[in-house]
A and B are shown apart, each in its own frame.
Chain A
Amino acid sequence: MKKSKYIIGFLFSLLMTIIIAQGCSSAKQIVEAKSGAQLWAENCIRCHNGPSPTEFNDEQWKTIGLHMQDRANLTKMETDKIVEFLKSAN
């Protein structure tokens, strides 16, 4: 019974956090103003060194972008900007 309370509490917290996250949009502009290069530098380094933009072609960057959106839980905006930046070097 005690354990199920923990689980329900955890799932409720998760749900509330997602709802708040979806609703809160006040300082988004600051993040949206960031360039793809800046987002690339900030996000790739969280797990590994940043790859050179010339390393892959455009189609491969799209595939890697989709892979990293999933694996690193990047937002759609971050993924799109980073992929566009990486493609711009080709």
Chain B
Amino acid sequence: MLQKLILAGGFVLCFGALKAQDTIQDQINNLKDDVTTLKRDPNTNFMIRGFSQFGLDAGSDNVNFNMTSFNPVLLWRQGDRFLFESELEMEYMSNQFGLNLGYANASFVVSKGVVVKVGKILIPFGTFGEKFHPSWVNKFSSAPLGVGHDGMLPMADIGVEVRGGLQVGKSKLSYSLFCVNGPRIKDGTEEPTEAGMLSFENANDNNNNKAVGARIGFLPFSNSSLEIGVSGYYAKPGSKTSPFAGDTLNEDLNYKDVTALLFAGDVAYIKVINLIKGTIDIKGQHNISNVSKATYLNPEDTTRYTFTNKCSSYYVQLAYRPALVANNVLRNFELVGRYSVYNTPKGSLWYSNQSQIEVGLNYWFVWRTVLKISYQISDGAMGGSGMGNMPGMSGMKTSMFLIHVATGL
């Protein structure tokens, strides 16, 4: 009897083990099938790309190693028409780690020449902020004056955009129309020395109107070597209520009717020219910002003041790479030069008049990795009390030597 029980038990154990083995084998086979299916699915693709920059800045007072950017870019394609993309901006500067969402949006190709985007978009105002800001695309390790997160231009915002490219005979036209939350006017309650400045970094709108804008680019030649673009942007940046509500002396100060109108013109010419055995690359952008007049409060002496709130900036950039010469080393060098100017309103507490000239020599290790060596001279005059500590201000000239390596990952 005992033998029968042992035999039966053994049989059950063997059968159970075999059954379990079969189940595990089935599961492995199913997983293999799933992985194969995933590999072969042409409708979806996920990529992690991005760019980074690391380098050294040498000024007269200090020499700093710094990691100026590490920006992973996520791309997720679903089918032939839908794309989700986002960029994370990581920085480590002044002993602080910063993480910012550069953009995150979904785009859908509606038809030939029409793409609709929703989410946090790069604002197509001029070309630098949208197209040339990645460190491996920018010929220099810094942005031109007036451009960037502390500049006078909108860089990214939440909203909707319609854009595309159209063939016009031999020429080509690119267009972008957008509607976004828009900027906020700094009223001076948080940062008194920046009263009247526009702040474009707003996750939440401060009023119930939207900013609208557009850019048109025209490429007259069939080889797309020249692009001329114009951009416009309109917003009402004030809140409905006075920032001084409750303060009987100042609650009449209100910015609800303040308007902001911005214009930009941009040009880019890139051409491989046999005569000079290389590629010539010329870029430029001119920006104007007009904010309507308003009265602000100086917190130091509680007096009121007003000023013509007009900013302007521009840059011109020239690059030459002898890409057609026979020497394999020489063809990877690139000579670059850039001049930029940034003027802020006279009469404001943030008045400044800055200019910067930068010359450099780049070496391309591969198509997406570059060593940038440049020398930068900044000059400026300031009238506002808020600009005292900026390099190149107070009528002083400063210079800096920069070496950076940038790569598109």
Interface residues, chain A, CB within 8 Å of chain B?
A: 3, 6-7, 10-11, 13-14, 17-18, 20-22, 24-28, 30-31, 42-43, 45-52, 59-60, 62-64, 66-67, 69-78
Question: Quick check: is B234 within 8 A (CB to CB) of the other chain?
Answer: yes
Chain A nearest CB from B119 CB (Å) reads: 12
Q: Give Cα distance in the complex from A27 to B172, angstroms.
A: 11
B368 touches which of A49, A69, A78 (Cβ 8 Å)? A49
Are A69 and B109 interface neighbours, CB within 8 A? yes
CA gap between A70 and B137 in the complex, in Å? 17
Give the residues in chain A near B42, CB-CB below 8 Å.
59, 62
Q: Does B175 contact A (CB under 8 A)?
A: yes
Interface status of B164 (Cβ within 8 A of chain A): yes
Contacts of A73 in B (CB 8 A): 163-165, 174-176, 217
Q: How many residues of B contact A (CB 8 A)?
A: 54
Q: Is the CB of A70 within 8 A of B117?
A: yes
CB–CB A46/B224 < 8 A: yes
Write the residues of chain B forming the contact surface with A, with a CB cutoff of 8 angstroms. Answer: 42, 45, 47, 75, 77, 80-81, 83, 85, 107, 109, 112-113, 115, 117, 130-132, 136-137, 163-170, 172-177, 214, 216-217, 222-225, 227, 232, 234, 259, 261, 268, 270, 272, 279, 364, 367-368, 408
Question: Distance in Å from the Cβ of B100 to the closest Cβ of chain A?
Answer: 19
Interface contact A45-B234, CB-CB below 8 Å = no
The A interface, classified by DSSP as helix, strand, loop or mixed, is: helix
Q: Contact partner of B113 among A11, A45, A76, CB < 8 A? A: A76
Contact B107 A20 (CB under 8 A): no
**Are A66 and B83 interface neighbours, CB within 8 A?**
yes
B166 contacts A75, C-beta separation under 8 Å:
yes
Contact B232–A10 (Cβ < 8 Å): yes
A14 to B176, CA, bound (A): 10
Q: A14-B175, A67-B85, A70-B117 are in contact. Are A47 and B165 (CB under 8 A)?
A: no
